Amino acid sequence: DAGITQSPRHKVTETGTPVTLRCHQTENHRYMYWYRQDPGHGLRLIHYSYGVKDTDKGEVSDGYSVSRSKTEDFLLTLESATSSQTSVYFCAISESEALPNEQFFGPGTRLTVL
Amino acid sequence: GENVEQHPSTLSVQEGDSAVIKCTYSDSASNYFPWYKQELGKRPQLIIDIRSNVGEKKDQRIAVTLNKTAKHFSLHITETQPEDSAVYFCAGIAGGTSYGKLTFGQGTILTVHP
C-alpha cells in the first residue's frame, strides 16, 4: 500500500467549521495529490504537490487549500466546510521520479458536513 | 484540459465470459492511461496502465488496448471471476504536464455472476 496513511478516516462536522485532513507517506516521494470521490463523478483532483512548499490547483480547488511543509505530509484544509464538500477524500502519491504519472492511493477519509 | 468518457456505466457478465470497458479522451497529446479497480469501501488500486508509445499491454487475464487515432482505449478482462466484481475507472493525463494531473472517467460497475 505504498506506505500511505490518512487521518482521520471518518469525520462528521458542521457547516462553517474548518477541517484539516492529513496524508502521510513514509517513502519520501516527491509527488502527492488530493482527490474527492462522489457518486457519478469518479475521482476529481483538488490540489497536488510536486515538492515541499510546491503546490498547485486541480480541477475542483474552490473552497480548499493545501500545505506541504515536510516531504512526508500533505494537508488538505476546508476553511469553512459546506454540505457540498461531503465526500470521500483520497490522497495519492507517485512512487517513482521517472514515472510521476503512476499514482497509488491512500485508504481514504469519509467526511460528512451537516 | 483533458476530458475522459467511460462506457458502459454498468456491466453484468457470467463467470468465464469476457468483459470490455471503453474510454474516450479529448486531448490528442495525452500520453498515459491507467486503469483502477475499486472494491466497495476500499481505495482505488492500479491494475494496469499503458503509455502512448504502445498499442497493447497484457497482464495475465487483463489487457489494455490504445487507439491513438480514434482517441480511445479499452480494458479487456478474460475468463472473468466473481472476485473481478468491482468498480473500474479509466483515466488520462493531459499532454505537456509531468505532474500527474489525471482526469478520471465516471466508472463502470462490473458484476460477475457465478
The tens digit of pLDDT for each residue in B59-74 reads 999 999 999 999 999 9
In percent, the amount of chain A with pLDDT more than 70 equals 95
Q: Is residue B111 over pLDDT 70? A: yes
Measured between beta carbons, which residues in chain B are less than 8 angstroms from residue A106?
43
pLDDT, mean of residues B81-110: 88
CA atoms A37, A40, A46, A49: torsion sign = positive
Each residue's pLDDT tens digit, B72-89 = 999 999 999 999 999 999
Is A48 an interface residue toward B (CB < 8 Å)? yes
Residues of chain A with pLDDT under 70: 1-2, 97, 100
Q: Is the peptide bond before B114 cis (omega within 30 degrees of 0)?
A: no
Q: Do A48 and B100 touch (CB under 8 A)?
A: yes
The radius of gyration of chain B's CA atoms, rounded to the nearest angstrom, is 14
Predicted pLDDT of residue A1: 62
pLDDT (tens digit, 9 = 90+) per residue, B17-61? Answer: 999 999 999 988 888 999 999 999 999 999 999 988 889 999 999
Contacts with A104 from chain B: Cβ below 8 Å: 46
Q: Residues of B at the A interface (Cβ-Cβ below 8 Å)? A: 1, 6, 32, 34, 42-46, 49, 89, 91, 93, 98-107
Partner-chain contact B89 A43, CB within 8 Å:
yes
Instruction: Check residue B33 and give its pLDDT.
Output: 94
Cβ contacts below 8 Å, chain A against chain B, sum to 57
Q: Is A61 on the interface with B (CB under 8 A)?
A: no
Residues facing B87 on adjacent strands? B38, B109
pLDDT at B96 over 70: no
Q: Tens of pLDDT along A19-47?
A: 999 999 998 899 999 999 998 788 999 99
**Residue A58 and residue B101: Cβ atoms within 8 Å?**
yes
Residue B102 has pLDDT above 80, yes or no: yes
- Chain A, nearest residue to B89 by Cα: A42
pLDDT of B98 strictly over 60: no
Residue A55 · residue A45 · CB < 8 Å: no
Provide the pLDDT for residue A10: 97
Q: What pLDDT does B68 receive?
A: 92
Q: Is A81 exposed, middle or buried (0-12, 13-18, 19+ CB in 10 A)?
A: buried
The answer to whether A57 and A9 are in contact (CB under 8 A) is no
Q: Please answer yes or no on whether A56 and B99 come within 8 Å at the CB atom.
A: yes
Q: So what's the pLDDT on residue B31?
A: 86
Kindly state whether A74 is in contact with chain B, defined as any CB-CB distance less than 8 angstroms: no
Whole-number Cα distances in Å, B78 to A90, B13, B114: 30, 11, 15
